[in-house]
Homo-oligomer: A and B are copies of this chain.
Amino acid sequence: MLKHLFAALDRIRPAETVSAHCDGPCGIYDPASARITAEAVRSMTGKMLALPAPDPTDPKTVATYHNTMARYAKIKEEQAEETKHHLLVLWTDYFKPQHLEDYPDLHDTFWQAAKLCSACKVELSPEHCDELVAAVENIHDIFWATKNRKVEWQLAG
């Protein structure tokens, strides 16, 4: 069935390209989207680990601590989900069968990166956050190499 699908996809791509104005792939893809949200996941993880415990005898401080932890967890969850989404858009829409020849590990590369996003939701692990940022950097390198462009990897944080 896979061959059938490949053939079917090949048939539809030209139509898409005809309607496009850009000479490369028709969309605007940029791993910087995933890089920014991955940096945010790392930042929130660091903040959660650094937040000092509240004075248990001061109800307002306890409530504020809960507020801060809950919203940091929420932001981290959403940024990790966005990172996963940005990465999977690259995998499903930008990368094409011909890229697999140069990057035979492409599927596993994205699978591991996506699983790291999930791990960074579950845990407060600076190590896995670093690995996630490194995984995005690796994809940044692959992506720009396929476009024969040299784009520097620059962190915002």
Contact = CB atoms under 8 A, between A and B. Distances in A.
A42 to B, nearest CB: 8
A156 B28 contact: yes
Chain A, interface size category, equals: 35 or more
With most chain B CB atoms within 10 A of its CB, the pick from A26, A68, A115 is A115
Interface of A is mostly: helix
A26 B99 CA distance: 35
A53 B62 contact: yes
A53 B59 contact: yes
Interface of A: 1-2, 4-6, 8-9, 12, 15-16, 19-22, 24, 26-30, 32-33, 36, 39-40, 43, 46-53, 59-60, 62-64, 66-71, 73-74, 76-77, 84, 88, 91-93, 105, 107-109, 111-112, 114-119, 121-125, 127-128, 131, 134-135, 138, 151-152, 154, 156-157
